Structure 1
C-alpha cells in the first residue's frame, strides 16, 4: 500500500502532478483511494523545451484516471539576487495554491519521498545550515492560504518505482535528473547508494533527526516571538541589546523571516550583531545588506528596506 491508512486528508484535494514517477504514483494511489475527490495541477514553467510534452502526457494520464487537470502557466524567471531554483519554487507554490483555491479544493499533495528528505538534509549539512535547514521538509504546512501535504515522506524512491512497475503505469523521465553537475543529483546517484550499503536504516534515522530539529526550531520560534513582543516591532535597539547574543540572533532571524520574508546568511547576521553591540550612541550608523534589501538604523529602531530595482 502506497498511502498509509493514517493519512487522513482534507478533501477534495489536488496532486501536484509533474508527470514524473513520484507524482504519477501519488496521483494513481489518490485517485483509487478517493475517486471523484482528486484533481491534478500541472505547473508549466516553460523552462525546458519538453515542457509542452510533459503537459500533454499529464492530460493523457488524467483522462485515463478520470481526474480533472488544471494547467498553471508561470513565469519562473529569477529576479536579481535570486537563484533560479528559488524563483521556480516560489512560482510553483504560488501557482499550486491559486489553482487549488480557484477549483474549491482544500489541500495540495506533493510527491516528495524519503530519499528526497535525505537529500534535503545532506544539502543542508553541506551548506552549514541551522535548525530550519536540518528540519528538512515538513509533512504538512500552509502557504498562500492553502494546506500542503507530503504523504510519501516515509516511502523510498525505489519502493515507488516498484509500485509503478507492478501497475505498468507510464510516466515521463526528466533528463535533468541524471545531470550530476547539480549537487542534489550527485547526492542521489553517488551518496545514497553508499549510505544504503553502510547504514541500511538511514532513511528512518535521518527522518528522526529531522523531526528532532523541527521540534527544537519550534521552541526557538516561540522564544523569538516572545522576545520580539517585548523588544517591539520593528526592534528597538536598546531593548534588543538587553538580550544575550544568541537570543538577539534568534530574534533577528525570526523578525526578518516573518516580517520581511528574507533570511540573513551567517556572515550578514554576525555583522548585524556586531553593529547592534556597537550601537551605544545616537550617531551610530547601521546599514547591512541582507537578502534583497538592507537592515538599517532608523532612530531608535532597526528597519528593513528593500533594495531599489536596477
Structure 2
C-alpha cells in the first residue's frame, strides 16, 4: 500500500554514509531534508548538471544553497547528456546521470566511504514507468518497472519513496516550509512521460483510486517472473554453452530459446534484440538442419552469425574485419 513519507523514511535502513541524488526538485529535496534530519553528519548530496537547458545553473545554485543551510556536503558534476542518433533524450540524460552519481560516490575525495545512493522516485513515477513499458510492448523485465533496491558498482542503490504518492511528497515538503525548483520541461507534453503524468494519472485517480497499489503489485509480480526467467536463462546458457551451440539450442522449446538468447546477448554483449530480430533468429535456428546453413542476421547493435556449430555475435567493426580477412561478406540467410 502507499505510505506516508514519514513511514517510508522510518522503514528506510540504508548502509551509512548515505548519498542522496539531488536535482533540486520537490522529490529529491524532500528526500534530502528527511535524510539529513534522521542521520545528521552521515548524508551527502550529489547533483548532476546536465547542461541541457538554461535553468540548469539555477538548479545548481538552489542545491548549493539548500545543502549549505542543511550543512550537508554537496558534490556537483557536469556531464554531456546530449543523445546519440536514435537514442531518446530522456534515456541519454538518465544514463549520463547514473554514471555521474556512481563516479561521484566512488570518488575518494567526495565519498567519505559512501555506502548507499538514494534516489527520490515515488509511486507516481513507478506508475508512469509501467505505463511507458506497456506502451512500448515490453516484456516482464520492463513491466517490473523500477526496483526498490539493487547493487551496482560496489554501491547499494535505493528508492525509499517508491511507495509514496507524488502529491504526498509535495504536501510533506510544504508542511516543512521548504521551497524547491520546478523543471520547466516537466510540463512539456512532447515527452511521453509528461503526457502520462498530466493526462492519464488524473483519469486513473478518478476511475481507480487505488491504482498506485494495484499497479505496484503487478510490478512486483513481473519482477518475480523476470527473476525466475533469469535463473532459467543462466541454467540454459550453461547447458548450451558460451557461445551457444545450435544443436543444444534446438533441444529447448522456442520460448526457452528466446529467453536464453536474450540473456546471452545482454550479459555477454550488452545488446538487446528487437522482437522482430529475435523472431527472425529463432526461425533461422529452426531451419538450421544442415552444416551448410548460414546465419547472418542483424541483432541489436551488431550481427549474429553462425560459425561452425555455434552462434556468435559481432558488432559491425568486427564483422568488417572478418569480411576483409575472408575476402568477402558472409552470405545473408534467407528469411
**Residues 1:25 and 1:51: Cα distance change in structure 2 (over 3 Å):** same
Is 1:38 equivalent to 2:47 in the alignment? no
**Residues 1:110 and 1:47: Cα distance change in structure 2 (over 3 Å):** same
Is 1:212 equivalent to 2:221 in the alignment? yes
Equivalent residue, structure 2, for 1:62 = 67
Equivalent residue, structure 2, for 1:89 = 94
Q: How many residues align?
A: 310
* Displacement of 1:194: 0.7
Equivalent residue, structure 1, for 2:179 = 170
CA contact (8 A) 2:8 2:163 kept: no
Partner SS, residue 120 of structure 2: coil
* Displacement of 1:198: 0.9
Q: State how 1:272-291 maps to structure 2 within 5 Å.
A: 272-291=281-300
2:220, 2:86 → 1: CA distance? 31
Cα deviation, 1:71-119, whole Å, max 9, x if unaligned, reads: 1122223334433322222221111111111112111100000000001
* Displacement of 1:290: 2.4
Equivalent residue, structure 2, for 1:222 = 231
Equivalent residue, structure 1, for 2:306 = 297
CA contact (8 A) 1:224 1:251 kept: yes
The answer for unaligned runs of 5 or more in structure 1 is none
Cα deviation, 1:134-178, whole Å, max 9, x if unaligned, reads: 100000012233221000000000001101111111111001100
Structure of greater Rg: 2
1:87, 1:286 → 2: CA distance? 32
* Displacement of 1:2: 5.6
Q: TM-score, normalised by structure 1?
A: 0.96
The answer for unaligned runs of 5 or more in structure 2 is 1-5, 319-335
Equivalent residue, structure 1, for 2:329 = none
- Residue range with higher mean Cα deviation, 3-12 or 26-35: 3-12
Instruction: Select which of 7, 13, 29 maps to 1:8.
Output: 13
Q: CA RMSD in A?
A: 1.6
Q: TM-score, normalised by structure 2?
A: 0.89
